[in-house]
Amino acid sequence: WERMPPEWKSRSAFVIAGRGHAETGALTHSTIPHARQTEPQADEFDFFDAIRRGDGKLTDYDGKVRAYSVGDDTWFTTEWPRAKEEMCPLRLSADGTLVDGSNLCAGAVSWVYDPSKSYGGFGDSFSVKAFDAGNCGYARAFVSRPFERARAFFGRPRVRIPVMSTCEDTQFLFRIDLITPSNEAWSVCQTITSLRHVKPDYRPGEIAVADLELPLTAFAVGKGWGVRLDVTSQGGP
């Protein structure tokens, strides 16, 4: 979308919906907190009819982005890339307190990963009730303090975290969740990388900094809600 020529983009639609990997169903009450609206499927039919047969109705967000915001159950139309972006850095720690980032390795946490075992449950779905990383032996959770006011986010979340392994390579999966005041976790988006991709000449025991952009995402954090980053090794040997 970002590299698409303007003349093509003006006749295109970019819809970011609350779906998971390879899922095609509409939003439901069981998959989104406070969800009331379903995905406007009729817009898709109108769009394809207009493009393929010329007898459909082009929607009013052609050339723009229409996104569903997880957490506050709203659809909105915007432009992307935006001319000006506002960054909101969150420095998270394993005990739920914000840190100043002066010592990236302070309070390091670890786990034992056995790729021969199928753990299941951590999941790769978006916008569904997330697995409780706090009760999972092969994952660690980094959480924020509760937000003092509601905030809406739209853009590419970026994760920057130092990682280390006792073997030559492993895969690290990073997932962003919303945490409700009742301590329910709702998955927003995730990404995965190989340690050798982060540092091609990696050697066991070294510290490498994973600096990754996640997919374009829209979500809202209510007052008293928090943001959690789950980290695990997953995805095969």
Predicted pLDDT of residue 34: 47
Alpha-carbon span 142 to 231, nearest angstrom: 8
Encode pLDDT of 23-52 as tens digits. 544 444 344 444 444 555 556 677 777 778
- The backbone torsions φ and ψ at residue 207, rounded to the nearest 5 degrees and listed phi first, read -100, 125
**Summary mean pLDDT of the chain:** 75
The CA distances from residue 15 to 87, 92, 96, 114, 208, in Å, are 23, 30, 34, 38, 35
What pTM was estimated for this model as a whole?
0.76
- Residue located via tokens 């809406």: 152
Encode pLDDT of 119-159 as tens digits. 554 554 444 455 555 556 677 788 888 899 999 999 999 99
Whether residue 18 contacts residue 39, with contact meaning beta carbons closer than 8 Å, is answered with yes
Q: What angle do CA 82, 86, 92 make, to 5 degrees?
A: 130
